[in-house]
Structure 1
């Protein structure tokens, strides 16, 4: 069992943040596995995301696939508890990711407001 969604999100976040740590990249790719990385879909797309919008969109799509996988499990399936925990974790990560994107958007807007304020104090 692997947390493909989390590993793929970490790879996508590395792209967005400009982190180029080959050992971490290889670790996350190993976590996902060659088969899942080569399959076109949300996991593969998430690993290649380069902006917050794509991170959120592809992460949400990966959660839809996770929910579909969970819906096919029976309560007595030994993997059921793991996947339920993974679903809770990924929901929390989804909320944090959206909040982080909003925080960056707020910072972007605040920078313009502060810039205008400086010019009010010191007209050019």
Structure 2
């Protein structure tokens, strides 16, 4: 059993953040062999936070449908529900990361404006 969504998200975050961890990348790619399609492929190949959010949302829809169609007596049911919770938590983490990034950009704009107010440049 593997949590394809989480492994694919890890690869996508590594792309977006420029993380160069060859061991982690190889491990995730091995776990995803034969499963790189649809939102899982989109997550693994994401190049922006917006891409991650879009593909993560699609992966959640697929996972919610999978849980909804499973029989509660299925031995995989609890694990699959656990995957759903983990992916929802990961979605919140990606949203926080994006919000923090936007806050940094806003802060840099404020710092720039303050610098010009403090030290006006005459043209």
Instruction: Please state which band the TM-score falls in when normalised by the shorter chain.
Output: over 0.9
Structure 2 equivalent of residue 49 of structure 1: 46
Say which is worse superposed, 74-83 or 17-26, in terms of deviation. Answer: 17-26
Alignment of 1:1-124 (within 5 A): 1-32=1-32, 34-37=33-36, 39=37, 41-124=38-121
Gaps of 5+ in 2: none
| Runs (4+) off by over 3 Å | none
Measure how far apart 1:97 and its partner are: 0.8
Alpha-carbon distance in 1 for matches of 2:59, 2:85: 14
Q: TM-score, normalization: structure 2?
A: 0.93
Alpha-carbon distance in 2 for matches of 1:95, 1:42: 17
Q: CA RMSD in A?
A: 1.0
Q: How many residues align?
A: 121
Q: TM-score, normalization: structure 1?
A: 0.92
Alpha-carbon distance in 2 for matches of 1:35, 1:65: 17
Say which is worse superposed, 89-98 or 8-17, in terms of deviation. Answer: 89-98
